Amino acid sequence: MGRSPTISLIGSEANQFVKLKTSLSILVNPRDGVVPYAAQVSGWLKTADGKIIPEMLPIEIYLNDYLYTTVYTSVDPQMPGYYEATVTIVDIGSHQIYARFAGNENYEGC
């Protein structure tokens, strides 16, 4: 007695969500001064393809590889995705500063 060919069936999870990639810019002004001095740190969190993210998301500001402060992106319709902070430089010498977004359930960190 013959039979039909065997056909494979595949089941998968429903709604597998892929996190969106992000990019984070940073501007610092001024970059030098007589200590102690305040430097404004600002930038934009967007998707990797440049789209605005209209959510309040945490941005970590690091000074010399130590977490200095955490601020949140704006949800103001005029400036969505914008963040800013003030960093006070108190020591003479060179300092490194960067911003980091850790990511969440919808967006990859950067």
Q: Residue 45's Cα: distance from chain center in Å? A: 5
Model pLDDT, residue 15: 66
**What average pLDDT does the segment 23-39 reach?**
97
Model pLDDT, residue 107: 96
Note the pLDDT tens digit of each residue in 69-107: 999 999 999 999 999 999 999 999 999 999 999 999 999
Whether residue 15 lies inside any domain: the answer is no
Give, in order, the Cα–Cα distances in Å from 47 to each of 7, 34, 54, 95.
41, 37, 11, 28
Contact 20, 50 (CB under 8 A): no
CATH of the domain at 93: 2.60.40.10
Model pLDDT, residue 36: 97
**What average pLDDT does the segment 27-45 reach?**
97
Model pLDDT, residue 1: 64
Q: Where are the alpha helices (DSSP H) in 12-67?
A: none
Would strands 22-24 and 27-29 be described as parallel, antiparallel, or unpaired? Answer: unpaired
Note the pLDDT tens digit of each residue in 2-26: 776 667 777 777 666 789 999 999 9
Q: What is the pTM of this model?
A: 0.83
User: Hey, what amino acid is at 96?
Assistant: Q
For residue 68, give its domain range: 22-100
> For the chain, what is the radius of gyration of the CA atoms?
22
Whether residue 11 lies inside any domain: the answer is no
Count of domains for the chain = 1
